[in-house]
Structure 1
Amino acid sequence: MDRRDVERLPGMAGLTQGADHVDVHTMEGTGSVADVAAALLSHRPGWMVFLWKVRTVLLRLLGQGGRIVPEPARLTGATLPKSVGDKASFLTVIRSDGESHWVAGAGESHLDAEVGVVAEPLAGGRSRFHVVTVVRYRNPAGRIYFNVIRPFHHLVVDSALRAALRRGRNGDQ
């Protein structure tokens, strides 16, 4: 999916403007945008905690200061913050209509990033879920950092999206 396609998704118009990196992970399943976004933010297996710790070391090496590993979110579709400006774990809600899309972002010294979850309804109560990641580098350290972690970013998003859709299929909210 290219940037023009992302921009055509519900709630995504203008999101990719000025972006240095855009990617989309797509899977089909059941549940709502809020269920999937909450499950994405709540997914934190041990290997992901390890990657957060490696991230902290990498950012220190790049001169971007100390970071902490954020506590995992404990969210459900019902408790997911949906109003613009609300905090959802380490992210701040940027846009949400409560049904077709939910977008949140975070800014750090080295980059700004947004993550969006979009649902396209399909037949039989299923949806095609898109997890959109948009990154803008603030300085050269941001470019270096993101290109080092990019393969892990894809692994994390795929794993979290699969877990979110399994969670919805099993009714674990």
Structure 2
Amino acid sequence: MPGAASIPEIEALAEGADHVDVKTVACNKELGRFVADLLSYRPGWMRALFRLRGLLAGLLGLRRESGGQGERLSEVSFTPGAKATFFTVTAAEKGRYWIAEASDRHLAAYVAVSAGTGEAGESLRHVATIVRYRHWTGPVYFTIILPFHHLIVAAMARHAARG
């Protein structure tokens, strides 16, 4: 990720992935607080998109996750195996990075958040989405949601960077 020190755990996930996307925001928040704020952001327009996602999931025979709607996190755990909304922490190092996974039969999706420094010395937070398809429904599903995914992750990162 640009501006971030090499993190082998994130690089290993990204290598050979079917989709990798990184959103970067300037932010001085402690990493755990940033992740909690990132995952807690659920405005009305996003809840509506998650309801539509539920309809699509039903058509494709996938789990119908709520998107963690209404769940406000006061903190996130850095312990592998811990839950954060519908994600499970897979690897983390306080102050450096946090990785979690959500998977179903169609794909495995990872969110990897890391702390970095920009060229001018500003504090940055990088939010990577890494996707690996597991079934033919994976690319079908992800292609349909991809435009919304970009909007959602960017909005979540901007929200988490505030305050």
Q: Same fold (TM over 0.5)?
A: yes
Which is worse superposed, 117-126 or 140-149? 117-126
Q: 2:40 aligns with which of 39, 42, 54?
A: 42
Q: Which residue of 2 aligns with 1:111?
A: 107
Residue type at the aligned position of 2:94: G
The structural deviation recorded for 1:145 is: 0.5
SS at match of 2:105: coil
Q: Which residue of 2 aligns with 1:29?
A: 27
Q: Which residue of 1 aligns with 2:143?
A: 147
Residue type at the aligned position of 1:60: G
Percent identity, aligned pairs only, is 41
Q: Deviations over 1:5-63 (max 9, x none)?
A: 98934752312133100010011121111111111110000111111111111111223
| Structure 2 residue ranges without an equivalent (≥5) | none
**C-alpha contact (below 8 Å) 2:22/2:126 kept by paired residues:** yes
Q: 2:71 aligns with which of 69, 73, 80?
A: 73
How many residue pairs are counted as aligned between the two chains?
A: 162
Q: Which residue of 1 aligns with 2:51?
A: 53
The structural deviation recorded for 1:162 is: 0.6
Residue type at the aligned position of 2:139: R
- Change in Cα spacing, 1:125 to 1:34, as seen in structure 2 (3 Å) is farther
> TM-score, structure 2 length as denominator?
0.89
Q: Which residue of 1 aligns with 2:60?
A: 62
> TM-score, structure 1 length as denominator?
0.84
**C-alpha contact (below 8 Å) 2:65/2:86 kept by paired residues:** no
- Change in Cα spacing, 1:60 to 1:28, as seen in structure 2 (3 Å) is same
In 2, the alpha carbon distance for the partners of 1:75 and 1:121 equals 26
Q: Which residue of 1 aligns with 2:6?
A: 8
| Structure 1 residue ranges without an equivalent (≥5) | none
SS at match of 1:12: helix
